Structure 1
Amino acid sequence: MDTSDNLINEAAKIYKVLSNPTRIKILYFLRYQEIDIQVNDIVTQLKIAQPVISKQLGILRRYQLVRNRKEGNKVFYILDDPHVVEMVDDMLNHVKHEIKGLPHPKNLY
């Protein structure tokens, strides 16, 4: 696979964004919402202070992992790239194997 340095550097930036547990919690919360969600809904559900949630949403938005929509003075958020959460699912499955000491599934390649 011929992957440019620029592409690898951008991927590394996304991994860095995903290294924050609060951001992952936000992504998972938004994953199961069928409508756009306000910041207060995320604060209430995750029990994390509003300034923290707002800051993390800003970072997620900057990297196009969530998007927002303004309606009057209200701001609504929705997951922008569900594929990224699937990638986190794969990592969580990897961690479960590591914690349990289970062998990883055989690679089919």
Structure 2
Amino acid sequence: MASTQQLIDEAAKIYKVLSNSTRIKILYYLRHQEHEIDVKSMVNDLQLAQPIISKQLGILYRYQLVCRHKEGTRVFYSLDDPHVVEMIDDMLNHVKHEIKGEPHPQNLYTRIR
């Protein structure tokens, strides 16, 4: 079993991967697809260059945030772990409070202490 430090180190690597807005944009795009989607469709829908999307998808795949399969020359992608997008949602909610200058809702941990 991995030590706590190993888990923290791996989490830090994933946070670094998620520090890129293009990668977050791709994850959100995939989240709202009903099925796997090919790179060409992503290029058209996200209006980003194919090499940019392919590079970012490669990084997301390496960290098991997306999965892929190939059919001929086309590569199809989908989310590998929707929980990651939920984590991003939580961060965006945090940012919304910060931008508006609103207090954060009390969480269970705060109420227990």
TM-score, normalised relative to structure 2: 0.92
In the TM superposition, what are the counterparts of 1:67-82 in structure 2 within 5 Å? 67-82=67-82
Matched residue of 1:106: which SS? coil
CA distance in 2, matches of 1:20, 1:69: 24
**Aligned residue type for 1:26:** I
TM-score after normalising by structure 1: 0.95
Runs (5+) with no aligned partner, structure 2: none
Conserved? CA contact 2:39–2:74, under 8 Å: no
Structure 1 gaps, min length 5: none
Deviation at 1:107, TM superposition (A): 2.3
User: In structure 1, the residue corresponding to 2:7 is in which secondary structure?
Assistant: helix
Q: Which runs of 4+ in 1 moved over 3 A?
A: none
2:14 counterpart residue number: 14
Partner residue, 1:88: 88
| C-alpha deviation, 1:43, in angstroms | 0.9
1:31 is matched with: 31
The structural deviation recorded for 1:30 is 0.2
